[in-house]
Amino acid sequence: MNKIKRVLIAGGTHGNELNGIYAVRKYERRPELIHRPSFETLTVLGNPRAIEAGVRYIDKDLNRCFDIPEGKETDLDYEVRRAREIKNQFGQAGQTPVDFAIDQHGTDSNAGLMLILDNLDCFTLKLAAYLSYRQPELKVYSSAASGRSQDSLRSIARYGVGIEVGPVAHGTLHAELFQKTEVLVCAILDYLEQYNSNTVSLEETSLTVYQHANAVDYPKGKNGEIQAMIHPRLQFKDYEALNPGDPMFLTFDGDAIAYQGSTTVYPIFINEAAYYEKGIAMYLTQKQQFQVS
């Protein structure tokens, strides 16, 4: 068993997601809250210039920059340079390599309290099961099939999870979700402490995982202009079943556009502001049960 020697808690990877930024500042002010005997806990504010400007990013989404090779025209982008800086500090070949990374995010979609897993290995599934037991409202999303396992900040660590909370408007703080995130972060640290001392006690349990299937864009015209909005019956209905024929979008003239798929799916990140420019109206997921023991 490889013990966890160093943990990284990140916030502000997107500069307008305030909850994570203020959480990191709190932990820097009160390091005793994240101290655990068997490992070192570090913190980082991902994107200082974007935080200063109150925007998601300056040149490029930092959380998509961790797998960009050197020697391209993107070398001039602030976030590409910042990603290398972070990797040189905390990556596996860095100065203080971290074994586990927690990256805190916020979304205006109705994410509630979401844990994002990039891999479904046993270590990660057991952690997720433990956390779900501690906070039953926790939703677990696996991005394993999204092709995003290497470009995010958390990917620089041996293990990593993302935390998404919502709905919280970008550029705002949300007290209730701030406190729930803090409970979740502490539970992760507690688990890692137990893992290191081989004292994890977990009964066999069923874990629900929302597995990434694909992304859906807004209906668009020839000029690329959006032609329909999220249907009112789907707005804020993250994690709920969307069945073939259910209304998905509503045109500006009031016509419903139905979901055309052949199977039931569970949309998440519905109507996230930052995803408009990426051409993503929502992610569709499949709901799966894992037996974890």
Q: Cα 157 to chain center, whole Å?
A: 15
Binding mask 117-156 for a copy of itself (x = CB under 8 A): ----------------------------------------
Backbone angles phi, psi at 104, to 5 degrees: -100, 125
Pick the closer one to a copy of itself by CB: 100 or 178: 178
For residue 49, the minimal CB distance to a copy of itself (Å) is 16
Give the residue with the Cβ less far from a copy of itself, 104 or 142.
Answer: 104
Quick check: 173 binds a copy of itself (CB under 8 A)? Answer: yes
Nearer to a copy of itself, 92 or 172 (CB): 172
Helix (H, G, I), strand (E, B) or coil at 9: strand
Q: Is 60 a residue that touches a copy of itself (CB under 8 A)?
A: no
Regarding 269 and contact with a copy of itself (CB under 8 A), the answer is no
- Run of H or E including 19: helix 18-29
Q: Where are the beta strands (DSSP E) in 68-204?
A: 100-106, 112-117, 139-142, 159-166
Does 14 engage in binding with a copy of itself (CB under 8 A)?
no
Q: Give Cβ neighbours of residue 230 (< 8 Å, ≥ 6 apart).
A: 248, 249, 250, 270, 271, 281, 282
For a copy of itself, which residue of 45, 213, 215, 226 counts as binding (CB under 8 A)? 226
CA neighbours closer than 13 Å in the CB half-sphere of residue 265? 24
Tell me if 277 contacts a copy of itself by CB under 8 A: yes
Smallest distance from the beta carbon of 172 to a copy of itself, in angstroms? 5
User: Does residue number 276 form part of the binding site for a copy of itself (CB under 8 A)?
Assistant: yes
Would you call the peptide bond into 31 cis, given omega within 30 degrees of 0 as the criterion? no
Using rule CB under 8 A, residue 231 touches a copy of itself = yes
